[in-house]
Amino acid sequence: MNPFTFIQTGLFAATGSGIANNPSLAECICAAVCKQILQNTSKLMDGDEWATVISQIPFQITTAQKSTNKTLNTGITPAEIAGLCLPQQSKLTDAVASALAKLQGNLSQLICFSVTEMPGNVLQMVLSNISITPTFHGLPSVSVSTSTSSLSFADATQLNQLTQIFGTFTPPVSEDYFITTPV
DSSP 171: P
* pLDDT above 70: residue 3: no
pLDDT greater than 80 at residue 87: no
Q: CA nearest 54: which of 147, 120, 119, 118? A: 147
Compare 138 and 41 and report the one with higher pLDDT. 41
pLDDT at 183: 76
Burial 111-145 (b: 16+ CB within 10 A, else e): bbbbbbbbeeeebbbbbbbbbbeeeeeeebebebb
Q: Indicate whether 1 pLDDT > 70.
A: no
Which DSSP string corresponds to 84-110? HH-TT--HHHHHHHHHHHT-SSEEEEE
Domain ranges of the chain: 32-182
Q: Inform me whether the pLDDT recorded for 180 exceeds 80.
A: yes
- DSSP, res 43: G
Give the pLDDT confidence score for residue 90 in this predicted structure: 74
Cα(18)–Cα(183) distance, integer angstroms: 8
d(CA 144, CA 131): 7
Q: What is the pLDDT of residue 182?
A: 86
The residue among 11, 24, 21, 10 whose CA lies nearest residue 162 is 24
User: How would residue 56 be classed by pLDDT, with cut points 50, 70 and 90?
Assistant: very high
Q: Which of 72-76, 81-85, 97-101 has the lowest mean pLDDT?
A: 72-76
Instruction: Look at the pTM and tell me if it is higher than 0.85.
Output: yes
In the chain, at which residue ranges do the beta strands (DSSP E only) sit?
6-16, 60-71, 106-118, 122-134, 140-152, 178-182
Residue 18 has pLDDT above 70, yes or no: no
Say how many C-beta atoms besides its own lie within 10 A of residue 153's C-beta.
Answer: 19
Query: What is the structure's pLDDT at 72?
Result: 78
pLDDT category at 122 given cuts 50, 70, 90 is very high
Residue 6, pLDDT score: 83
The mean pLDDT of the chain is 90
Number of C-beta neighbours around residue 155 at 10 A: 12
pLDDT bracket for residue 132 (50, 70, 90): very high
